[in-house]
Structure 1
Amino acid sequence: MKYLGESFALITALGWALSSLFFEKASKRADSISVNVIRLVIGIIFLGVFTFVERGVFLPTDSTSYNWKILGVSGIIGLFLGDIFLYESYVLIGARLCMLFMTLTPLIVGVFGYVFLGEVLTLTQLLAMIITCSGVLIVVLKSKDGEQNKKISSKGIMYICIATIFEAIGTIFTKMGSIGYNPSSSTQIRMICALLVFIIFSTARYFTFP
């Protein structure tokens, strides 16, 4: 189908926008680690059901060691490190500003893709990315009542900048590790690896700071 990829991208963007609001509320009620663990467990189960219906496997048992290594790194960088900072920034500056900074992720991915994968963006693609990001920035920054925004947490800004970079790096590893493999199962591998690291991290933190 024509523009199928673009349609999926729009659906993904809508999902990101809606989920960020729920994650902000959840992160304010509980710590970001707990929210991440719950999210990953639910995500792994739902993806398992989907891949079972789609191709008869609940877990990515048909993947290669290469898929696990590269996608595992992607999950640790993007879904563990990136989301720790992202969810903390939800609490500090809110989902609205977080999504503002996350619009810069495609630009960072483009730079990293050029450096590490040799991907080249055309001038039209670059202009389209800049225009799209600029439009979102203007809409998000514009105050509803025309008043100046309240003072923003510098710690929150630092966290969301770190999260954006980690998410972009994770995306590059995802592109490398999912070549020739099922996208849903690739995401499941990322989630499984991130969940394992979260469990190890939470256990170590509990015994270190009981």
Structure 2
Amino acid sequence: MQMILGQIFALLTALCWAQNSLIYSHLGRKTGSDAVTHIRLWLAVPVMLLVNYLFTGQLSPFSLPVQPLILILASGFFGFFVADLFLFRAFVEIGPREALVIMTTSPVFSLVFSWIFLGETLSLVKTAGILIILGGVIWVILEEKDGKNQGHGHSVRGVLYALLGALTQAIGLIFAKMGMMEGVHPVSTNFIRIIAGLAGLFIYSLIRKKVRSDFAAFRSIGNFLLLLFAVVVGPVLGIILSLYALNWAPVGIITTLMQVSPVLLLPVDIFVFRKKVSAGAILGTVLAVGGTTLLFLF
């Protein structure tokens, strides 16, 4: 039962990422991707303080043994600092859809790392399901419905940012899984990860002398409220769901399910933005859903 719940939570996480990719791409073009990456974690900390207290009865998440604490701090450094810096820059450089399709390489990195460090193995059928999901997602993203690329040109720099984001995201997830194997609550894990990521981003902004300008970018009430909404859905709700998922199912399966975000954006394109969706995009969606079914049933 926990295996199924883990996979459901991973799909809900993908839904959170789909929404966030649109908001962060929009705000990143208006205020700068580094400012978005930085300030969202300042908003996430007080929210997570409350959530951590409600779930664990403690305000501080740091009453842990040294080893899992170090692992979770490392997870936050890679996941919320390094990976998100690269990913948000990729959103601006090449657009959210293109960045997300490249980020589907994260499960490949995760599979290798989980095999090396966690001893996790996947059956042939589940491996096939992962490959089918990746194939479907890639097919959907590469379908240019309007004959354009949403105003973003492919750039070597943007592709590199997305690849580095995928690699460091996988590293962060492995560290998180290793830390939670010591019995750490997923909500406390997320709180510690956010604090570690914020520390890295704050130091990075100090070095760049951008702290004041990062905060100034969100003086607009519209930008602030949009970012706050994205924070609640992404770094708080989405990450908590992903950590529960990681705690209950293999890393390779969970990271793959979390990569279907671009596919989940198809209904938004059709029913909200009234965009014409090609047959190839629909077939890619069916392929991704078929791969997900393999993970659930076998």
When the two structures are superposed, what TM-score results if normalisation uses the length of structure 1? 0.91
Structure 1 residues 76-95: aligned runs within 5 Å: 76-95=77-96
Task: Provide structure 2 residue ranges, at least 5 long, that are not aligned to the other structure.
Answer: 211-298
1:41-78 Cα distance to aligned partner (Å, 9 max, x none): 22222222112112212330332222221111111112
Paired residues of 1:89 and 1:157 also in contact (CA < 8 A): yes
Matched, 1:187 2:190: yes
CA contact (8 A) 1:60 1:189 kept: yes
Residue from 196, 201, 204 that aligns with 2:199? 196
Aligned 8 A contact 1:104 1:164 in 2: yes
Which whole-Å deviations, capped at 9, do the CAs of 1:156-204 have from their partners, x for residues lacking one? 0111111110111111111111221100110111110111111111112
Give SS of 1:119's match.
coil
CA RMSD of aligned residues (A): 1.9
Cα deviation, residue 205, structure 1: 1.8
Residue identity in the other structure for 1:161: L
Q: Give the Cα–Cα distance (whole angstroms) in 2 for the partners of residues 197 and 62 of structure 1.
A: 21
CA contact (8 A) 1:78 1:167 kept: yes
For 1:191 and 1:148, locate their aligned partners in 2 and report how far apart those are by CA, in whole Å: 36
Instruction: Report if the CA contact (8 A) 2:78-2:169 is conserved.
Output: yes
Taking a change above 3 Å as real, the CA distance of residues 61 and 173 of structure 1, as seen in their structure-2 partners, is closer
Matched letter for residue 4 of structure 1 = L
Deviation of 1:148 (Å): 6.4
Percent of aligned pairs sharing the same letter: 34
* Count of residue pairs the alignment pairs up: 207
* Unaligned segments of structure 1, at least 5 residues: none
Q: Distance in 1 between matches of 2:61 and 2:51?
A: 12
**8 Å contact from structure 1 (residues 85, 162) kept in 2:** yes
Contact 2:34-2:89 within 8 A present in 1 as well: no
TM-score with structure 2 setting the length: 0.65
Other-structure match for 1:158 = 160
